Amino acid sequence: MGDETAPVEALIRTETGRAGLAAVLDDPSGAVIGLDFDGTLSPIVPDPASARIHPEAPAALLRLGELVRAVVIVTGRPPLQALALGEAPGGPALADVPGLVVLGHYGLERWEGGDVTAPPPPPGLGRVRAELPSITRAFDGVLIEDKGRAVAVHTRRASDPEGALLALGEPVAKLAAASGLIVEPGRLVLELRPPGMDKGQALRAFLAERSARSVMFFGDDLGDIAAFDAVATSGLPGVRVCSGSAEVTRLVEHADAVVDGPEGVVRLLRSLAAAISPAGA
């Protein structure tokens, strides 16, 4: 896990990660910094609507945004929701990060410079909205989150969160298949969402669009493994940073660095900016 005073180099534990970091530090104007939102920039809380970005994350990203080619948020949230939850009291907001791009809904919706571009919502959502409550009704505390082009089933507030998640797996998968959707599993959540896009494809396309020369991606959840794979197969020097938690351990084996949740992510972002531009520290 991260250490407040550690220089950024000390946090990297693999050879490929060290080469990736060296490339970012030697040539920051060619670097793309990508980050997941929930669990990476925003601490996990029981109610998805009450999530808020770590209060010091926007300032850390704002500073980095001035130094690198691009900062991109790649999230399962709708972009405008991530931006709303990215407002920190009394400080800069996520939307203030220079040149920020938000790739929401796993890359299907894009926010840039105040504009959102998105394909039409999938037709199967109507069926999901109609039938899902009869599937979840048996589980106390299970929450349905309607995200406009996807619907998430959250079990964090159920009396037995893991048990409810397991029991809901099969009926939710059947409903998703019958509705032309896929199931995206996450932290005590099953999301019914359109196929054809994931965080890996989204990140890969963004790196090509920006002619990136290096990449660093921060994630905490199963959906971020595709983005980690995109870093590994991009042909660019890259660093995969896991925002560590006891809840999801599968990312650790794919990561070049493991930090202590959003707090550790913010510390690493600050160390990175200080290493790129010591004068601004």
Ligand X SMILES: O=P(O)(O)OC[C@H]1O[C@H](O[C@H]2O[C@H](CO)[C@@H](O)[C@H](O)[C@H]2O)[C@H](O)[C@@H](O)[C@@H]1O
Q: How far apart are CA 182 and CA 238, in angstroms?
A: 29
- Burial category of 127 from C-beta neighbours within 10 Å (exposed 0-12, middle 13-18, buried 19 and up): middle
Q: For residue 198, how many other CB atoms are within 10 A of its CB?
A: 23
Q: How far apart are CA 28 and CA 33, in angstroms?
A: 10
**What SS3 string covers 188-208?**
CEEEEECCCCCHHHHHHHHHH
Closest-by-Cβ residue to ligand X is 76
Closest distance between ligand X and the C-beta of residue 76, in Å? 3
Closest distance between ligand X and the C-beta of residue 221, in Å? 5
Pairing of strands 182-186, 189-193: antiparallel
Q: How far apart are CA 247 and CA 244, in angstroms?
A: 8
Q: How far apart are CA 276 and CA 281, in angstroms?
A: 9
* Nearest residue (CB) to ligand X, 49 versus 279: 49
Closest distance between ligand X and the C-beta of residue 127, in Å? 19
* Nearest residue (CB) to ligand X, 40 versus 213: 40
Q: Side chain identity at 190, as an amino acid letter?
A: L
Positions touching ligand X (CB under 6 A) are 36-39, 44-46, 48, 51, 75-77, 145, 147, 152, 154, 156, 186-189, 191, 221, 223
Q: 130 Cβ partners below 8 Å, 6+ apart?
A: none
Closest distance between ligand X and the C-beta of residue 211, in Å? 25
Closest distance between ligand X and the C-beta of residue 242, in Å? 13
Closest distance between ligand X and the C-beta of residue 159, in Å? 15
* Nearest residue (CB) to ligand X, 45 versus 177: 45
* Nearest residue (CB) to ligand X, 48 versus 200: 48
Token reading at 81: 């929701």
Residue whose entry in the numeric block shows the structure tokens 């299907």: 108
* Nearest residue (CB) to ligand X, 74 versus 175: 74
Strand segments (E) across 16-69: 31-35
* Nearest residue (CB) to ligand X, 109 versus 221: 221
* 3-state class (DSSP) for residue 185: strand
Closest distance between ligand X and the C-beta of residue 223, in Å? 6
Token reading at 17: 């990660």
Closest distance between ligand X and the C-beta of residue 274, in Å? 26
* Nearest residue (CB) to ligand X, 198 versus 237: 198
* Nearest residue (CB) to ligand X, 48 versus 261: 48
Distance set, CA 62 to CA 92, 101, 202, 258, 273 (Å)? 8, 13, 22, 22, 10
